[in-house]
Structure 1
Amino acid sequence: MAVLVVLIVTFLASLGITWAGSGEPAYILSGNIAMCAMLQFTALGHFKFPEGMSRMIPPFVPFKKTMVLLTGLIEIAAGIALLFPATRHAAGIFLILFFIALLPANIYAASQHLDYQKGTYDGKGPEYLWFRIPMQVFLIAWVWYFAVQPAV
């Protein structure tokens, strides 16, 4: 839920600032600033909770902690790339694929009742997916609308 709060509050704040500064809101820029802020926020979790987040990755995948840290760096870089028109479209396509690729880890974590912040197996479980999967679709749609679609 905090992820969506960061996304929406940043979007609205950016709209207000661009509107106040130029007399009209910059929707595309604001949408990308908001996604960048959200990705910086989620990347923090990769560095704050690497042990718990590494448990989101199925057992057959090697180098779990390294992958958690690497995906945190990827989120930071992709978010920053959204801020520049020259890299926005490519970053948007990458992020859509990235969000799709990460969904199985979220499904696996939910099936294990993982609470990645505590690193324990007493989390919400599969019912969390009723929120997570629609949110993932929303994030993909957001990136499509604000980063990919404007260039098409």
Structure 2
Amino acid sequence: MKPLIVLVVTFAISLVISGITTGKWDLSFSGRVAMAVMLLFTSIGHFKFTEGMALMLPDFIPAKRETVLATGVIEIIAAIGLFIPPLRVLTAWLLILFFVLILPANIHAALHHVNLEKATYDGSGINYLWFRVPLQLLFIGWVYFFVIRS
């Protein structure tokens, strides 16, 4: 829920600021700002809740802690890449791939009731997926609409 709030609120603030400062509503720029801020926000979780996020990964994935830290770095790099014109579209496609690839970890976490903040197995469980899967689809659509399509 928190990433969604960060995304929407940042988009609204950025859109208003771009409208006031430039006289036009720059949807593409505001969409990229919102996604970048959301990625930076979620990357913090990779460093703050590393052990809990490691529990989200299926058993067959080696080096779970390192994978969590690496994906946090990937989110930071992607946030930056959204603002480098020659890399923007490539970053967007890779970000869509990233969102697809991390979905199984979210499914695994829900099936095993992972509470990533506490690093325990007393999380909300399968009900989490009713929110997370549509949220993941929203992120994919967001990146496509505000970066690739723009």
TM-score bracket, normalised by the shorter chain, equals over 0.9
Aligned to 1:95: 95
Aligned to 2:56: 56
Aligned to 2:105: 105
Instruction: Quote how far apart the aligned CAs of 1:85 are.
Output: 2.2
Structure 1 residue 67 and structure 2 residue 67: aligned?
yes
Structure 1's unaligned 5+ residue stretches are none
What is the rounded CA distance, in whole Å, between the counterparts of 2:143 and 2:110 in structure 1?
Answer: 24
What is the rounded CA distance, in whole Å, between the counterparts of 1:100 and 1:41 in structure 2?
Answer: 19
Aligned to 2:84: 84
Instruction: Quote how far apart the aligned CAs of 1:110 are.
Output: 0.4
**How many residues of Structure 1 are paired with residues of Structure 2 in the alignment?**
150
Deviation by residue 1:79-125 (Cα, 9 ceiling, x = unmatched) = 11112222110010001000000000000000000001000101000
**Residue identity in the other structure for 1:25:** W
SS of the equivalent of 2:56 reads coil
SS of the equivalent of 2:126 reads helix
SS of the equivalent of 1:83 reads coil
Aligned to 2:142: 142
**Residue identity in the other structure for 2:140:** I
Normalising by structure 1, we get a TM-score of 0.97
Structure 1 residue 38 and structure 2 residue 38: aligned?
yes
Runs of 4+ in 1 over 3 A off after TM superposition: none
Deviation by residue 1:119-142 (Cα, 9 ceiling, x = unmatched) = 010100011100000000011000
**Residue identity in the other structure for 1:7:** L
**Residue identity in the other structure for 2:109:** A
Q: Over aligned residues, Cα RMSD in angstroms?
A: 0.7
Deviation by residue 1:56-77 (Cα, 9 ceiling, x = unmatched) = 1111111000000000000000
Structure 2's unaligned 5+ residue stretches are none
Aligned to 1:47: 47
Aligned to 1:132: 132
**Residue identity in the other structure for 2:26:** A
Aligned to 1:28: 28
What is the rounded CA distance, in whole Å, between the counterparts of 2:149 and 2:96 in structure 1?
Answer: 12
Identity of matched residues, %? 49
What is the rounded CA distance, in whole Å, between the counterparts of 2:7 and 2:86 in structure 1?
Answer: 22
